[in-house]
Structure 1
Amino acid sequence: MALLSQQQLQRFLLNRIDCNAGFKTTSKKNVSVANKERSRCCSAIAIDAPSSGLTDVARIKWGSTMIQGLREEMEDDVVLRSDDDGLDGFSFAAVFDGHAGFSSVKFLRDELYKECVAALQGGLLLSGNDFKAVKKALEGAFESADAKLLKWLEMTGEEVESGSTATVMFIRNDMLFISHIGDSCVALSRSGKAEVLTNSHRPYGSNKVSLQEIRRIREAGGWISNGRICGDISVSRAFGDMRFKTKKNEMLEKGVEEGRWSQKFVSRVQFNGDLVVSSPDIFQVALGSDAEFILLASDGLWDYMNSSDAVNFIRNQLRKHGDVQLACEALAEAALDRRSQDNVSIVIADLGRTDWQSLPLQQQNVVFELGQAFATIGIVSLGIWMSSLLSL
């Protein structure tokens, strides 16, 4: 757990949130790791929502942010679209987490939305109370988008080994649909309790989903080495990644050339399917009166903060100032303060049902922050004392 910096300590003692009104747009170019400059892109919108029988709901408030951590490139992206785009009262949000370049994300951030909207017949299927139809439509949209991406990558020759995870949400005040591949995650706050709605698609671990992914990969002729498919990639569902789909044999030959495995080993490999797939998990979640907000974030957050901590952090932020955008930015900074090495992308949808100012701060979080503050004071004092001794 990272201690508070001197700047954060000052913020804490003054009980202020210091978030810049202006911000730097996230760069897709290389950023020096030594400088580890945190570039960010943020946005906040409030979307009118239709009546859904919940009379206390008026508006959904959105916040989003992306911060580049110690990675050399920013390969994440966030997409938000309001219900004005013909989604029959639903709004769209997505987080993309790219790897081996930004090209796949660049293609998907527009194309996947178009494929989903077309497959869902605008928002008609979302409002039709037929989950099987929605599931089939979104599965088809992901499959179509991936096929188009693979053709585009091969045609352009632009970062042909790139790929991207994607977690997509369609939200109305009373209903949430999720279409998910990869290791981003969606969590829902219900009366302050964190409810995790998605599972990470990774080829390691002992949970049910991971074991299913490992079995699927092995049945397709692949293998797992050090928690990675063929010792290479650590997510088992993603867009792009043609070397694990249409170019598997070329991947084997390249591995022989690089000395990663022998020709004899390769001669025994027989592929029966794609090692990385774009088939999504689809979820439908009813949003009752106890639903407070929805949190969607890349693994740059979840690898360093669990869902309960993240939900409590957001709730305390909203109690202080009620600003979902500031809460979003503060959560991203908190992930980096916990030594997150990855890019961090976050979307928060405040469903507008909670009077945040009327809720008391959670005592355990206040005590924890005080402990951090006093620990930091102690370290600073110790540093000053040691400096004075050295100067004697």
Structure 2
Amino acid sequence: MALLSQQLQRFLLNGLNCSFGLKSKKNSIRERSRCCSAIAIDAPSSLTGVAGIRWGFSRIQGSREEMEDDVVVRADNLNEFSFAAVFDGHAGFSSVKFLRDELFKECVEALQGGLLLTGKDFNAVREALEEAFTNADTKLLNWLEVTGEEVESGSTATVIFVGNDVLVISHVGDSSVVLSRSGKAELLTSSHRPYGNSKVSRQEIRRIKEAGGWIVNGRICGDISISRAFGDMRFKTKKNEMLEKGVKEGRWSQKFISRLQFNGDLVIASPDIYQVALGSDAEFILLATDGLWDYMNSSEVVRFVRNQLRQHGNVQMASEALAQAALDRRSQDNVSIVIADLGRTDWRSLPPQQENFVYELGQAFATIGIVSLGIWMSSLFPS
């Protein structure tokens, strides 16, 4: 259910308790980890770099057994640009642990210490970032091979470079970047997933099949549900070993794999790269892992953050509240968030963005109806 206004939440709670005589029960909720990234430097708002930008970032563990997300915010060696990234790991934390420092170094080197970012040649920037991502992935695959540490691990990476009037994005995976312009949400990235009807999804499905792969229930070879990521050597340098392992595990037959012919990597680390102008109406940039976006859409997120900033103006508090809101909506995934307030908005002078009361009221009565139905069904089957 969508987050409701405080007034409507009180109405719901009071109405349910009065109507049905429900007794509150204490549920045992596992303590969730909540911390800022070890790579982020100093306090969120004290980072140097682009003048006026205030940073907030948050990592919070959902019901997963491990925290495999991470956040990086840096403002060094990039010629007055700031760098931020979110990583979403899978099959272990090893790939994220490697990338959170290595990818930044590769980007700095390829971008010539930020000189390319300040130039007017976007093609040069794109080629540099493609090279940086490719080099980082090659080094990661070699490192996984040599160390033997969580060899099936991988990670998405969504990176932003923020200047005074321009934003550059380099994106691999299913995290997302949203820009708030005068309260309107602009979704700037598309998820790399091998399912769905979006243009990007259709392109990814076609690429995988042309490379000799197949998709089962939205997963490449019935395994992984993202089509672009770092690491994941079984879909790159160890494809034949992956097939033989599948035969041993009874996932497919020897006859089946004898008909296959790979023509490329099934999962790739080639980024989508965008450049976005930041005018006077640009308020803040937000990037986050899919643990947020699977439960809140971009408009809801922008409205939530704006109202947080209007109330107290603290970007760090807003990022932490947003991460908690995702868990309150029953997000099962880990959630990592970075917010860059561009410093162009007097938040205290803004009126609050109003929720759609009619929509909320409909949500309220739908909830009451579901609870009523559950209680009625429980009365039919007494324990």
Query: What TM-score does the superposition give when structure 2 sets the normalisation length?
Result: 0.86
Conservation of the 8 A alpha-carbon contact between 1:189 and 1:291: yes
1:73 maps to which residue? 66
1:188 maps to which residue? 179
Q: Does 1:116 align with 2:110?
A: no
2:345 maps to which residue? 354
C-alpha separation between the residues in 2 aligned to 1:306 and 1:129? 33
Q: Secondary structure at the match of 2:227?
A: coil
1:36 offset after TM fit, Å? Answer: 2.9
C-alpha separation between the residues in 1 aligned to 2:47 and 2:286? 16
C-alpha separation between the residues in 2 aligned to 1:295 and 1:178? 12
C-alpha separation between the residues in 1 aligned to 2:149 and 2:62? 24
* Structure 1 segment 209-228 matched on structure 2, within 5 A: 209-228=200-219
Conservation of the 8 A alpha-carbon contact between 1:78 and 1:95: yes
Q: Does 1:179 align with 2:170?
A: yes
* Deviation digits for residues 74-122 of structure 1 (CA, Å, limit 9, x no counterpart): 000000002xx12111000000000000000000000000000000000
1:138 maps to which residue? 129
Letter in 1 for 2:129: L
Pair 49,161 (structure 1): closer, same or farther in 2 beyond 3 Å: closer
Identity %: 78
Aligned length: 352
2:252 maps to which residue? 261
Q: Does 1:61 align with 2:54?
A: yes
1:150 maps to which residue? 141
Conservation of the 8 A alpha-carbon contact between 1:201 and 1:236: yes
Pair 88,243 (structure 1): closer, same or farther in 2 beyond 3 Å: same
Conservation of the 8 A alpha-carbon contact between 1:328 and 1:347: yes
Q: Does 1:328 align with 2:319?
A: yes
C-alpha separation between the residues in 1 aligned to 2:313 and 2:32? 25
* Structure 1 segment 88-127 matched on structure 2, within 5 A: 88-127=79-118
Ranges in structure 1 where 5+ consecutive residues have no aligned partner: 14-33, 51-57, 381-392
1:245 maps to which residue? 236
1:306 counterpart (297, 301, 322): 297
| Cα RMSD, aligned residues only | 2.8
Conservation of the 8 A alpha-carbon contact between 1:94 and 1:168: yes
Q: Does 1:273 align with 2:268?
A: no
C-alpha separation between the residues in 2 aligned to 1:76 and 1:153? 18
* Structure 1 segment 42-57 matched on structure 2, within 5 A: 42=36, 44-48=44-48
2:332 maps to which residue? 341
1:248 offset after TM fit, Å? Answer: 0.2
Ranges in structure 2 where 5+ consecutive residues have no aligned partner: 14-27, 37-42, 372-383
1:364 counterpart (355, 360, 376): 355
Pair 46,286 (structure 1): closer, same or farther in 2 beyond 3 Å: farther
Q: Secondary structure at the match of 1:292?
A: strand
C-alpha separation between the residues in 2 aligned to 1:351 and 1:369? 31
Pair 61,224 (structure 1): closer, same or farther in 2 beyond 3 Å: same
C-alpha separation between the residues in 2 aligned to 1:377 and 1:266? 53
1:173 offset after TM fit, Å? Answer: 2.3
C-alpha separation between the residues in 2 aligned to 1:166 and 1:263? 35
Q: Does 1:232 align with 2:223?
A: yes
C-alpha separation between the residues in 1 aligned to 2:237 and 2:368? 57
1:46 offset after TM fit, Å? Answer: 3.8
* Deviation digits for residues 291-330 of structure 1 (CA, Å, limit 9, x no counterpart): 0000100000001110000001101111111111111111
Pair 197,241 (structure 1): closer, same or farther in 2 beyond 3 Å: same
C-alpha separation between the residues in 2 aligned to 1:249 and 1:127? 44
Query: What TM-score does the superposition give when structure 1 sets the normalisation length?
Result: 0.84
1:378 offset after TM fit, Å? Answer: 12
Conservation of the 8 A alpha-carbon contact between 2:47 and 2:74: no
1:218 offset after TM fit, Å? Answer: 0.1
Letter in 1 for 2:113: G
Pair 3,371 (structure 1): closer, same or farther in 2 beyond 3 Å: farther
Letter in 1 for 2:56: G
C-alpha separation between the residues in 2 aligned to 1:89 and 1:151? 33
